[in-house]
Amino acid sequence: MYSFLNWTFKRIICLILEPIVTYKNFLKPKPSFIYGKPINSVNFDSVRKFKYTNNGYIKKFILSKREIKLIINEVKSGKHNKKFEKFNISNPHINFISIYETSSLNMEDKKKSIYANFWHTDDTLYPSCVKIFQLGEKISDDHGPMEFIDRENTKINWVKFFFRGNILKYNKGIKKFKSPSSSLFLDTRSCLHRAGIPKKNNTRKMLMIQVINKKGPEDIDKIFSIQGFTEPTLLK
């Protein structure tokens, strides 16, 4: 019951803060996810500087301002415009970029939500938001790929009063993101998803780019300064 009340409260607040965008998404529903052309402007192997977070289970790599600019230029080059249009984004604006690496959890911590490894939705994201994910190399189940389900299967779980947790009430249609040959555009606000847990001695490194619908240039300094933290949302 707590999960339902918490989920409902967050959704109502976001509706109040951005009613027009929410209404547009209701009139023209966004897709759950789309695979797109890969993001090629990031060199996963060249990123060296990082900090540990989440009890040492996550490495958050620090991109230079030059590298951030290259990623922004590629994402906004026009090659993804048709994808953005499907998500009702006419003015793609990047407000967060992160490269992070997840490690295996010990037996006790596997029972906890350490690094979004429980099923959840990003309830306080901007309603216009879509997240783009990119892998640097092909991975297997051993590396703990990100798992997600589409909007329809998410709604079935919501009907069954499942909003956050380790075991889905309705576990059909689970997809895993494993290939670097394409990027993944995912509506994480409306699709249940979780970080897979790598098996012992394995890790999974991934790029995440958060895009909202907003006119104006990106604040490179801000994106640089917050990349080691949690992504910006409507409530913070």
186-199: per-residue pLDDT in tens? 999 999 999 999 99
In a domain, 78, yes or no: yes
In a domain, 235, yes or no: no
- The CATH number covering residue 131 comes to 2.60.120
Of the two residues 209 and 14, the one the predictor is more confident about is: 209
Does position 170 have pLDDT exceeding 90, yes or no? Answer: yes
In a domain, 236, yes or no: no
Question: Residue range 157-179: average pLDDT?
Answer: 96
Confidence category of residue 1, pLDDT binned at 50, 70, 90:
low
**Percent of the chain whose predicted confidence (pLDDT) is above 70:** 99
Q: How many domains does the chain have?
A: 1
What confidence score (pLDDT) does residue 25 get?
Answer: 87
34-46: per-residue pLDDT in tens? 999 999 999 998 8
Question: Residue range 139-143: average pLDDT?
Answer: 98
The mean predicted confidence, pLDDT, of the chain is 94
Question: Residue range 57-63: average pLDDT?
Answer: 95
Ordered DSSP codes for the chain: -HHHHHHHHHHHHHHHHSHHHHHHHHHSPPPSEEEE----S--GGG---EEEETTTTEEEE---HHHHHHHHHHHTSSTTHHHHHHTT-SSEEEEEEEEEEEEPPPTTGGGS-SSS-SBB--TTS-TT-EEEEEESS---GGG--EEE--HHHHHHHHHTT--SBSS-SS--S-EEE--TTSEEEE-TTTS-EEPPPPPTT-EEEEEEEEEEE--S---HHHHHHHTTSPPP-TT-
In a domain, 61, yes or no: yes
What confidence score (pLDDT) does residue 2 get?
Answer: 61
Domain around 152: 2-226
In a domain, 233, yes or no: no
**Percent of the chain whose predicted confidence (pLDDT) is above 90:** 81
What confidence score (pLDDT) does residue 6 get?
Answer: 85
Confidence category of residue 47, pLDDT binned at 50, 70, 90:
confident
